[in-house]
């Protein structure tokens, strides 16, 4: 029987393969496995914002790698443990103190001002955030950035944090509304409200993402009001984000609505086509994709929603390019548009894709995931791998793992093969079409 530690080491290994050495070290190098219970584990990161980041960005991946290693589902909680103290009541638990900052003096992922593409739709928010990062506590206080999903709110608030963290010796507290709430509740439960308040009193810069989640949370709002006033009186900079203006957040305390309104509010609108093109071009460099102008314009015209979708589109393009030998051209993109654009529906999960494939070919899950080499099974397996790669952008090693620990080169070979015959072989064409259609993705 494998121990939890071994499984954890194994799943970290696949996370590393997926993220690459640099990104992995940035977020996971000092993350440890905490409590282990039946069907549930606790993962601990030293810093609160690191825990938030992992929770927001990597939780599904962690769950997936864990369940791949054990063939069972697991619930994962990610906590910050106050830099190894393991005691959530340590007053400075999630503060980036001066010392910690020196240890942790890195920008938050790619979310910097330099990486933010400015256009009409976000110029005002960008300029406001930059002003705050340059002269905290002076001009716009509090700053509230608001706008729809995937438009860059988290990017900008992180950019403020990392800019200030690099430039000045300030105590910065960067968190999400959910973490603030959890933290508050746990202090109340431990009768340590004074510690909670003392902790916030020490903050020079308070950054809280997604405050719309406080809708109808009366107690949390009340406590936040208290924190807000304490910091405001001391002219400490505060930045918040929300998916809508404060007066539209259901049951947000009138006093808070008025505090926010007295500060500076900047909205982010959905990007216009020129901005989308600029973002695609900038991001394509990061993705290592050579993106011709006509393709960038074509895709920008077809994606009308948010920037996260633009990124998803690039991930899938990069996946396509891995097994096409040709350069990216508009014809290719038009022919494969179904799998490159985000579907109208929610994307299927990898489980759904695999399940649909086995139903289509009428084979068993254990067969497709297993080692049998019978032609029909091997073919179904290759089709499933190809679909995971092109629709979800799942990495080759990760796909390999989902199919009984196969090597990434085997997966690449499978994808190339299916891709190659998908345009020439009518049967494959039809198989792919029917399967995609079964989960509403054709
Ligand atoms: P939100 O918090 O508003 O839902 P995010 O800040 O998480 O959105 O943005 C979604 C993704 O799009 C992130 O990866 C972010 O880096 C990227 N993004 C958003 N706006 C821009 C921009 N103007 N330039 C570059 N990348 C952007
Ligand atoms: Mg966000």
Report residue 226's pLDDT band, with 50, 70 and 90 as the boundaries: very high
Tell how far the Cα of 306 is from the centroid of ligand 1, in angstroms: 8
Q: Is the pLDDT of residue 1 over 70?
A: no
Q: Is the pLDDT of residue 107 over 70?
A: no
**Average pLDDT for 15-33:** 81
Strand order in the sheet with 75-80: 32-37, 40-45, 75-80
The backbone torsions φ and ψ at residue 265, rounded to the nearest 5 degrees and listed phi first, read: -115, 135
Answer left, alpha or beta for residue 251, where phi above 0 means left and psi between -120 and 50 means alpha. Answer: left
Q: Is the CB of 175 under 6 A from ligand 1?
A: no
Q: Is the CB of 161 under 6 A from ligand 1?
A: no
**Average pLDDT for 356-369:** 93
Q: Which of 359, 350, 442 is nearest to 403 (CA)?
A: 350
Q: Is the pLDDT of residue 155 over 60?
A: yes
Report residue 441's pLDDT band, with 50, 70 and 90 as the boundaries: low
Lowest-pLDDT range, 20-24, 67-71, 88-92?
A: 88-92
Q: Is the pLDDT of residue 74 over 90?
A: no
Write down the pLDDT at residue 363: 93
Q: What is the dihedral of CA 45, 198, 141, 275, to 10 degrees?
A: 10
Write down the pLDDT at residue 102: 28
Write down the pLDDT at residue 19: 78
Report residue 70's pLDDT band, with 50, 70 and 90 as the boundaries: confident
State what percent of residues in the chain have pLDDT above 90.
50
**Average pLDDT for 203-226:** 95
Q: Is the pLDDT of residue 66 over 70?
A: yes
Write down the pLDDT at residue 325: 65
Q: Is the pLDDT of residue 98 over 50?
A: no
Report residue 442's pLDDT band, with 50, 70 and 90 as the boundaries: low
Tell how far the Cα of 377 is from the centroid of ligand 2, in angstroms: 42
Q: Is the CB of 129 under 6 A from ligand 1?
A: no
Q: Is the pLDDT of residue 89 over 70?
A: no
Cα 329 off chain centre by = 29
Ligand 1 pocket mutation, candidates 57, 113, 148, 307, criterion most atoms within 8 A of CB = 307
Query: At 279, is the secondary structure helix, strand, or coil?
Result: helix
Global pTM?
0.63
Q: Is the pLDDT of residue 47 over 80?
A: no
Identify the helix (H) or strand (E) that includes residue 240: strand 237-242
Lowest-pLDDT range, 54-58, 141-145, 224-228?
A: 54-58
Strand 75-80 versus strand 40-45 pairing type: parallel
């Amino acid at each position: 029987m494998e121990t939890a530690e071994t499984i954890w080491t194994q799943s970290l290994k696949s996370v590393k393969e997926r993220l690459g050495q640099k990104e992995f070290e940035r977020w996971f190098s000092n993350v440890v496995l905490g409590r282990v219970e039946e069907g549930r584990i606790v993962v601990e990161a030293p810093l609160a914002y690191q825990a938030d980041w992992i929770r927001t960005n990597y939780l599904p991946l962690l769950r997936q790698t864990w369940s791949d290693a054990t063939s069972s589902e697991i619930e994962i909680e990610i906590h910050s443990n106050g830099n190894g103290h393991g005691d959530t009541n340590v007053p400075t638990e999630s503060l980036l103190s001066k010392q910690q900052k020196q240890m942790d003096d890195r920008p938050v992922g790619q979310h910097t001002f330099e990486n933010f593409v400015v256009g009409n739709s976000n110029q005002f928010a960008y300029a406001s955030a930059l002003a705050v990062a340059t002269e905290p506590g002076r001009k716009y206080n509090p700053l509230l950035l608001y706008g729809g999903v995937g438009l860059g709110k988290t990017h900008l608030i992180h950019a403020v944090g990392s800019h200030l963290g690099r430039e000045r010796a300030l105590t910065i507290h960067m968190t999400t509304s959910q973490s603030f709430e959890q933290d508050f509740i746990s202090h109340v439960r431990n009768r340590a409200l004074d510690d909670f308040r003392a902790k916030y009193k020490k903050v020079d810069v308070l950054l809280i993402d997604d405050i719309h989640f406080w809708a109808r949370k009366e107690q949390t709002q009340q406590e936040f009001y208290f924190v807000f006033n304490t910091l405001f009186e001391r002219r400490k900079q505060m930045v918040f984000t929300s998916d809508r203006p404060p007066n539209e957040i259901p049951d947000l305390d009138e006093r808070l609505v008025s505090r926010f309104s007295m500060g500076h509010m900047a909205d982010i609108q959905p990007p216009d086509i020129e901005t989308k093109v600029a973002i695609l071009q900038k991001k394509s460099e990061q993705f290592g994709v050579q993106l011709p102008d006509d393709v960038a314009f074509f895709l920008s015209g077809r994606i009308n929603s948010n920037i996260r979708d633009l990124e998803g589109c690039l991930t899938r393009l990069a996946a396509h390019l891995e097994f096409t030998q040709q350069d990216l051209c508009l014809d290719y993109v038009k022919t494969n548009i179904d799998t490159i654009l985000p579907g109208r529906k929610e994307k299927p999960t990898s489980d759904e894709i695999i399940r649909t494939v086995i139903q289509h070919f009428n084979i068993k899950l254990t067969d497709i995931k297993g080692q049998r080499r019978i032609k029909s099974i091997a073919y179904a397996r290759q089709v499933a791998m190809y679909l995971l790669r092109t629709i979800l952008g799942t990495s080759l090693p990760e796909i390999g793992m989902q199919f009984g620990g196969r090597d990434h080169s085997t997966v690449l070979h499978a994808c190339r093969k299916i891709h190659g015959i998908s345009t020439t072989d009518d049967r494959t064409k039809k198989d792919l079409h029917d399967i995609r259609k079964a989960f509403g993705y054709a």
